Each structure stands twice: as structure tokens, then as C-alpha cells.
Amino acid sequence: MTPGTSEDLQNINDIRKTAAIDAELCRLNIDIAALQETRLADDGSIQEKDFTFFWKGKAKEERREHGVGFAVKSSLLPMTKPLVGGTERLLSLRLNTSKGIVNLVAAYAPTLAASPDVKNKFYSELDELIGQLPESEDLYLLGDFNARVGAEHDSWPTCVGHHGVGKINENGQRLLELCCNRNLCITNTYFQHKEKHKVSWMHPRSHQWHQLDLIITKRSRIGDVHTTRSYHSADCDTDHALVISKVVLQPKRIHHAKPRGLPKINTACTADTVTQKHHKFNASMKNFGPALPDETAESRWCQLSSFIYQSAIDAFGRKKRQNTDWYDANLKVIEPATTAKRQALIRWKQYPSAKTLSALRKSRVRVRGLPGNVLIIIGLS
């Protein structure tokens, strides 16, 4: 979607329009939205009621034009990775979910009237960004591509579906060539909708509607997209209709660390049954209350086992690790050797000579021979 801006592009105070966009996104039950033509300077973020907005624009001293960003439902923030880099035309967001990594790219392509150099730069940067992503990760390009991809399925069978609209133009040709090279497809063209739900922008002079705002994904993942269509009811002070994709991401297995177990009981203290620790344990066990009338055997056992364990920990203590850390165990030997090596290095740096270099190498040999097979290497230029 493309939020509107004030008429005076050099004197914009539109950051609070995010509040209105927040309400619309919430009303339409959207999780993440890509924003174009934000025309906000530098980069930043702002948190509204339900969404957090991120943006990237030109430097503050430059003309306020272009700009891209994301509106992310605040409940999804723990799943997102910090945005790094980006330009006023391209900004990427990574979602770390239980279904795998999903890369979202907010894009604002040059218009048809832009110079070839500007267009070449944009598509070169977009192609480079896509190429840096691992093949195993999902990818969605969302934005105002200022491109008409048409309805020529026979000419572009891997990129365009059977439900495109209009005729292809020069920008559309560039975009489809990129999609062919990167095995991407235009999701807008794969679903049968009313004509008004296929288009997103009306030309101010001809009053012809066009499909410029596109959502693109890998050809192999088109099955994850349930639908893509325009919603003209969204009111975000813009001349573009909101385009929404409903996507179901296939789950991918993620390794989870094994939960930490309970501390072990120091059973060495249980051998002598007449010690004070045993008396403490027996006294504690006498405090275990009787079973309730409606209590199940499973519930009773859970309470009993937990009570026995805690009483044993309190009375006998935790079992200590038998394998002490090698560094702590050999500290008296290690510390003098490493100190001597550090001093030898300082002397060699201050007075480089064959003698000081030989002393440094000998000190290294001594460190390598320490218990635990410690190896400390200091590079020599």
C-alpha cells in the first residue's frame, strides 16, 4: 500500500498518519503491510496501538521523496529480526517463525518516466538482494512496482497466471525478466476475481485502472498463497488500493534445545543412616499431608515424588560436578606461563630481534605443553 503525503514535499509532518493506517490494518485483520512512498527522512520506527512502523528514506537534507517501510503487528515483533541496511526503494524484513525463515521485501520501483540509469540501478539492487538469500528460505516481494505485467500467460508461463489484466509495458518487461531469472511469479495473476479487484491504481488523465501494486513469491511456493486481490475500501489517504495476500506458510522443523533437567541429589550423604542429614530428611517426610478424598492416584504420585525430591535436596544437598574445570584446576601452573608469554610478546614488539623472537617462541612452547593441551596463538606480522 502507498500512504498519502502532504502537498508540500519539503515540509511534511505525516509521521502521525501511522495512527490512521494502524486502525485500517487492524480493521482488515492484516498482520504485516509493506509501505511505499512514505517520504519520511532517514530511518526510524514508531509504535502505534496495534502496529509498529519501520521506515527507510533519503537523508534529512535531501528531497523528501520515495521511501519504503513496514507495518508489523506488535505481537509479531518477537519473531522479527532487526532491519539492517536498505535504501529509500528497498527494505527487507526477516521473520523467524516455527515454520522457517520468511523474507519480506518492501519495494518501490521507479516510474515509467524515470531514466534508464535509475531503473537499471533499482533492478540491479533488487536482483542482488534476492541472490543473497538462501534458497531454502521463503521470499515475498511486496510493493508498488510501477509496472504493468499484462495477461500474456502463454508468453510468460512461469511468471504470469491465467488472470492477469491489461497490457505489458517496459517496466513490466523488466520485472518479468527478473522473475524468470529468479523463478518468481506474480501472485496477483493467479486468482480469479472481479476486474475491480485486480487493479490498484487509476491513471489521473485517462481514468484507466491498472495493476501496479504486486505481491511476488517463488514459483515453487505459489501453493502457499490462498488469494491476492485489491481492497478499495481501505482508507489510508492514498490513490492506491490496498492489495492483500492471504498466505499459509508450510511448517518446517526447528531444532529446540533439550530442557535442563533437575539437579541431582548428593547420594553420597545417604549411606550413613544415623547422620543429622538423615534425621532432617525423615522429619521432613513426616510433614507430607494425607490424600484428599477426590484425589487421583496420578495426582497423588506427582505430589509425593516432588515432595521426596525436594526433601532430599534440602537434607543431602546437590551432587557436585566431579570434573572440575581444567583451567581452575591448573591455574597455578597456567598463570605464570601465560604471564611470561605476554611479557615476552611485549618485549618482542618493543625490541624486535632474533633474541626476543626466540624467547617468545620458547614461551609459546611452554604454554602449549600445559595440562589440558592449552593452545594460545598470537599472530606475528
Q: Are residues 193 and 337 in the same domain?
A: no
In a domain, 5, yes or no: no
In a domain, 109, yes or no: yes
**Confidence (pLDDT) at 187:** 96
Residue 309's domain spans which residues? Answer: 261-284+303-320
Q: Are residues 198 and 331 in the same domain?
A: no
Find the angle CA(239)-CA(244)-CA(245) to the nearest 5 degrees. Answer: 150
pLDDT per position as a tens digit, 271-323: 666 677 777 877 888 777 777 777 788 887 888 888 888 888 888 788 776 65
CB 37 within 8 A of CB 5: yes
pLDDT per position as a tens digit, 157-175: 999 999 999 999 999 999 9
pLDDT per position as a tens digit, 167-196: 999 999 999 999 999 999 999 999 999 999
In a domain, 292, yes or no: no
Q: Are residues 164 and 54 in the same domain?
A: yes
Q: How far apart are CA 157 and CA 180, in angstroms?
A: 9
- The number of folded domains in the chain is 3
| Model pTM score | 0.63
Q: Are residues 160 and 41 in the same domain?
A: yes
Q: Are residues 147 and 225 in the same domain?
A: yes
Q: At how many degrees (to 10) do helices 354-368 and 331-350 cross?
A: 160
CB atoms within 10 A of CB 1: 26
In a domain, 44, yes or no: yes
In a domain, 42, yes or no: yes
Q: Are residues 206 and 353 in the same domain?
A: no
Q: What is the CATH number of the domain that holds 216?
A: 3.60.10.10
Q: How far apart are CA 165 and CA 194, in angstroms?
A: 11
In a domain, 4, yes or no: no
- Which residue bears the cell 515424588? 305
Q: Are residues 125 and 63 in the same domain?
A: yes
Q: Are residues 340 and 238 in the same domain?
A: no
Q: Are residues 211 and 279 in the same domain?
A: no
Q: Considering only CA atoms, which of 221, 156, 220 is closest in space to residue 189? A: 156
In a domain, 28, yes or no: yes
CB 161 within 8 A of CB 155: no
Q: At how many degrees (to 10) do helices 276-285 and 297-316 cross?
A: 160
Q: How far apart are CA 267 and CA 320, in angstroms?
A: 11
What is the four-CA torsion angle of 213, 171, 10, 22, rounded to 10 degrees? 10
Q: Are residues 170 and 211 in the same domain?
A: yes
Q: Are residues 125 and 208 in the same domain?
A: yes
CB atoms within 10 A of CB 313: 17
Q: Are residues 32 and 85 in the same domain?
A: yes
> What one-character-per-residue DSSP string does 156-195 give?
STTT--S---S---HHHHHHHHHHHHTTEEEGGGGS---G
Q: How far apart are CA 56 and CA 38, in angstroms?
A: 8
Residue 9 contacts by C-beta under 8 Å, 6 or more apart in sequence? 39, 63, 64, 65
| Mean pLDDT in residue range 229-254 | 76
pLDDT per position as a tens digit, 12-69: 445 457 877 888 898 889 999 999 998 888 888 888 889 999 999 888 888 888 899 9
In a domain, 2, yes or no: no
Cell matching residue 10: 519539503
